[in-house]
A and B are shown apart, each in its own frame.
Chain A
């Protein structure tokens, strides 16, 4: 049979451009403009998938985006909507849910057991023996529907953008087009979004006159400057009219997400035709009226040879006319408005053969067309907070109360002639424009950088549109037989009835028990039928039963589009290029990329301890603090005292949150009378800045302090090792670096390698004589290179984070967040002397006061630990146990092998009972064995007196 019709006046195919493609590895030819499905139908292919549970053969149902039966695999892309996706040259299309082939599917045997595979059958079976369930589960998983993900799909390039249109119109049918045009003519910027490839909505498959109207409207829209997006969908409406649009017609990217803050949203989504429930309603050859009209008028495809048409509306009547024009024999028109209906369809497993009417008569046919009414796709309205209500006279749901910034028009709100629809669209566009103007005015008067608007804010316009009437429509949901309700989930009306009888009798429970409405069309085809069947079963009305929750997205959107271009900021210091050129092994630390080492961290340690090394510590948080009240601020945030810090001195401090838990630590120096530089941990930099601002802005707005983050404005380099002074002296002329003139814990400002305004502090995490220099970042590389050059004869070498970690551990310095955790209160660190309870106030003081009270339970203690076996380095996080038990009494928080001491060294938290120097600890190693270790007297394993450091 030749299915391609003679040229049709409204056809969208280009007969001059044939396209070759394959379907299940066989070659076919279609035309440009064809969808995959129209091309296959024209080639006389009728079965496109197997159903999910019973593996019944499925043909075209709606012939549009929502068709549940024509989802196919295209190359590596799974779940392509075959009745929407346009054919492309050399497409490789295959069926998804059939094995070994679409024609012969072994799993179809499931169909025979249909009566046993009732809803929820999983829950009732495979219970015993329970040990077999994993096996069953594997088998069930084989039945998963859908296509195949190619695990080699590369990380593609995706795109995204923001937009601030005055009006977004969802739906490019006559109503949406008219609204877009009138809003644009009123001076608004308008985005019109249409899911189909062409504008015009239902007019595209209507009469020549319909199409002419569509073309005219489209032209006016373009003239009015409307931004038109086709093959795109408004996928969600979120808080404050934040609108998600998936755009598929943008050159260069497959799909991109537009995030639009629309001042008003016009929803002109039209109507979705609803299938009718009866026995055999999923046989290939049973189609909706919209499907046959699209196939004939747009794709010039003959949907069958001999048809029965069930019609309850003008669309069904129009389908009859189309069929006749296309040469299809219309054997019988069953008019629901006259009380007629059909009862069941029968045929071979792959093709409809006959239709039985409710009056008992049977008509032979290979095509059954139903026009049973519409579902209002109220999804976007529900997302806007509306709860649409059901009107039995019109047999569909209508919006009730929408927020001011959402306006519905077209088929969603009522029926009417094309002129009436357009008129309603026009008045909706005007209303949308007026309301958008009010929002625009408000924004321009409240957003400080905006140009203030003229005149007072226009009042929110009341809705004075002349409404659309509601055409009466028979309530046609289920015939006297049972049939499919959810085609993608293979849920029948019988399943719903028995679920309700079992007690899953609210719409939400029945949904979850049967999975009805949970498939790819998310209820657009099946919600109302589900509700209707449930209402029937419970003897309630559709309104009483209500619907399930509509949720975003309106139409599925790819993860690639949602992800967009991935913005994962990366931070590097001014020395990054140098590190890269010098063999660094990088490590990620938050957003920073830093050198972990340059080949051999152990050697780097030794070099620092014997010669001199330099490390890039730029990520160290740095806050410039200015003003007369800085000491008050420091006193408030640190646990120790700051009032008497002289100019030129630095001091270490620890900060707590108000619960007494250690928050951060670092050194702060006084650079001038009212000028301080605070350093924080690298990972704490952002948080502490905010913390400081919060105290200043909320508790002490009267204090005069200005905080400026200068973390990356200063390239920070620690020069450490016995030869560090000698090295620095070669680069600094204007500061006396001698031990007497520049003591430990002092800060100086001077010129390094010709760079003025550098800070130098004598502090160090490594335990060596060291200078931490902070250099204006634009000159950071210069200073670093000068250090390397001038230190060559001193044996200078760079060192990385790992060497620093080893050295700080040799010195017993703890790291906030590693040696402390989310519950570690300040006294645990051992720095009791830094907690000054005689200060009036500081963050966390009351908790620390109570924690240190004599009657308070003792806190865990941070101790230095040395394993008995000097070669053994217990992994960090190994647990410390009470000997002979599994009772946890502590854990190793840091551990390394010390190149300086040639033995392993650790820090750990232990309960007070185990904290005394000399206590023997049992450490459970990761391999399950136990090792002993001893608690040391000092935190510092290396140079406990700090001789080297002060040198």
Chain B
């Protein structure tokens, strides 16, 4: 189990964290073009190497933060930064795993 360096708690099991995907910046909604916006929504760099990404310390301090992680060796580098936001509420994969059940929105 990967240890993720939370800037507040210190290294924590990845199971205690939510992965929030590639760090991206939100285009200004007032001036954005469809191309820019959909880039923000859907496109990914997905490098095999260093990746800036967001995590949420969901079972710990509940802070969002951004780190750089190597996607081949799983090393982390640089002191973590405050988080940046992602377009969809859960990462795509979390949703892929969530199955159909969690989607039923009972009131």
> In the complex, are the beta carbons of B106 and A850 less than 8 A apart?
no
Q: How far is the CB of A764 from chain B (nearest CB, A)?
A: 11
In the complex, A694→B88 CA distance in Å?
Answer: 11
Choice from A240, A682, A694, A699 contacting B107 with Cβ under 8 Å: A682
Q: Are B90 and A687 in contact (CB under 8 A)?
A: yes
Interface size band for B: 35 or more
Smallest CB–CB gap between B100 and chain A, Å?
Answer: 9
- Assess the B106–A815 pair: CB atoms within 8 A: yes
Does B37 reach chain A (CB closer than 8 Å)? yes
Tally A residues with Cβ within 8 Å of B.
54
Shortest Cβ distance from B43 into chain A, in angstroms? 13
In the assembled complex, the CB of A367 is this many whole angstroms from the nearest CB of chain B, namely 48
The verdict on B51 contacting chain A, using a C-beta distance below 8 Å, is no
Determine if B77 is an interface residue (Cβ-Cβ < 8 Å).
Answer: no
**Chain B neighbourhood of A682, CB < 8 A:** 105-107
Question: Residue among A693, A694, A701, A817 with the most chain B CB within 10 A?
Answer: A694
Task: Let me know if A62 is at the binding interface, CB within 8 A.
Answer: no
Q: Are A815 and B85 in contact (CB under 8 A)?
A: no
Q: When each residue 55-94 of chain B gets 1 if its CB lies under 8 Å from chain A and 0 otherwise, what string results? A: 0101000111000000000100000001111111110000
Cβ-closest chain A residue relative to B58: A690
B48 within 8 Å of A (CB atoms): no
Interface residues of A in 652-693 (CB under 8 A from B): 657-659, 663-664, 681-684, 687-688, 690-691, 693
Shortest distance from the beta carbon of A617 to any chain B beta carbon, whole Å: 7
Q: Mark A13-31, 1 if CB is under 8 A from B, else 0.
A: 0000000000000000000
Report yes or no: A765 in contact with B107, Cβ–Cβ below 8 A.
Answer: yes
Q: How many A-B residue pairs have CB under 8 A?
A: 118
- Within the complex, which residue of B1, B63, B103 is in contact with A239, where a contact is CB–CB below 8 Å? B1
Cβ-based interface call for B97 (8 A):
no
Please choose the segment from A98-106, A133-141, A285-293, A440-448 that sits at the chain B interface, where 4 or more of its residues have CB less than 8 A away: A440-448
- Counting CB contacts under 8 A, is A65 at the interface? no
Residue A248 interfacial (CB < 8 Å): no
Q: Which of A684, A697, A847 has the most CB of B within 10 A?
A: A697
Contact residue among A446, A657, A659, A820 (Cβ-Cβ distance under 8 Å from B10): A446
Interface check A921, CB cutoff 8 A: no
> CB of A242 within 8 A of chain B?
yes
> Distance (Å) between the CB of B70 and the closest chain A CB?
12
- Listed from nearest, the 8 A-B pairs whose CB atoms lie closest are A817-B105, A816-B105, A447-B10, A658-B87, A446-B10, A698-B85, A681-B105, A242-B1
Kindly state whether residue A482 has any CB partner on chain B within 8 Å.
no
Task: Flag whether B50 is at the interface (Cβ < 8 A).
Answer: no
Does B47 count as interface, using CB distance less than 8 angstroms? no
| Inter-chain contact A589/B106, CB cutoff 8 Å | yes
Given A701-B82, A846-B37, 11 extra CB contacts under 8 A: A659-B88, A682-B106, A683-B105, A697-B64, A804-B107, A815-B106, A817-B103, A817-B105, A821-B103, A841-B30, A846-B34
| A residues in contact with B84, CB < 8 Å | 698
Assuming A683-B105, A687-B89, is B8 touching A697 (CB within 8 A)? no
CA distance A2 to B106 in the complex (A): 74
- On chain B, the residues within 8 Å of A847 by CB distance are 37
Q: Does B89 contact A663, Cβ atoms closer than 8 Å?
A: yes
Interchain CA distance A446-B29 in the complex, whole Å: 39
Question: Which residues of B5-60 have CB atoms within 8 Å of chain A's CB atoms?
Answer: 5, 8-11, 18, 20, 26, 29-30, 32, 34, 37, 40-41, 54, 56, 58
Q: Please measure, in the bound complex, the distance between the C-alpha atom of A620 and the C-alpha atom of B105, giving whole angstroms.
A: 10
| Across-interface contacts of B58 in A (CB, < 8 A) | 690
Q: Is A478 an interface residue (CB 8 A)?
A: no
- Offer 9 A-B interface pairs, CB within 8 angstroms, sorted by A: A240-B11, A446-B5, A687-B90, A694-B20, A698-B64, A698-B85, A817-B103, A841-B29, A850-B34
| Residues on B with beta carbons closer than 8 Å to the beta carbon of A681 | 105-107
Bound CA span A808–B5, Å: 46
User: Is B107 within 8 A of A815, CB to CB?
Assistant: yes
| Contact assessment for B2 and A239 in the assembled complex, using a CB-CB cutoff below 8 Å | yes
Complex CA gap A841/B29 in Å reads: 6
- Return the contact of A818 from the options B3, B8, B29, B104 (Cβ within 8 A): B104
Are B64 and A694 in contact, with the CB atoms below 8 A? yes
A259 to B13, alpha carbons, bound, how many Å? 12
User: Which residues of chain A are near B8, meaning CB under 8 Å?
Assistant: 448
* Of B3, B32, B85, the contact of A695 (CB 8 Å cutoff): B85
Q: Is the CB of B9 within 8 A of A447?
A: yes
Residue of B nearest to A684 (CB): B105
B1 / chain A contacts, CB cutoff of 8 Å: 238-240, 242, 259, 261
CB distance B29 to A590 under 8 Å? no
- Shortest CB distance B28–A (Å): 9
Q: A239-B2, A447-B9 are in contact. Are A658 and B83 (CB under 8 A)?
A: no
Closest to A594 in B: B106
B57 to chain A, nearest CB (A): 11
- Interface presence of A822 (CB below 8 A): yes
| CA gap between A443 and B12 in the complex, in Å | 11
Residues of B within 8 A of A896 (CB): none
Decide if B105 touches A815 in the complex (CB within 8 Å).
Answer: yes
Question: What is the CA–CA distance of A239 and B63 in the complex, to the nearest angstrom?
Answer: 23
In the complex, the answer to whether B89 meets A691 with C-beta atoms within 8 Å is yes
Closest Cβ neighbor of A588 among chain B residues: B101
CA distance A242 to B90 in the complex (A): 27
- In the complex, A681→B40 CA distance in Å? 27
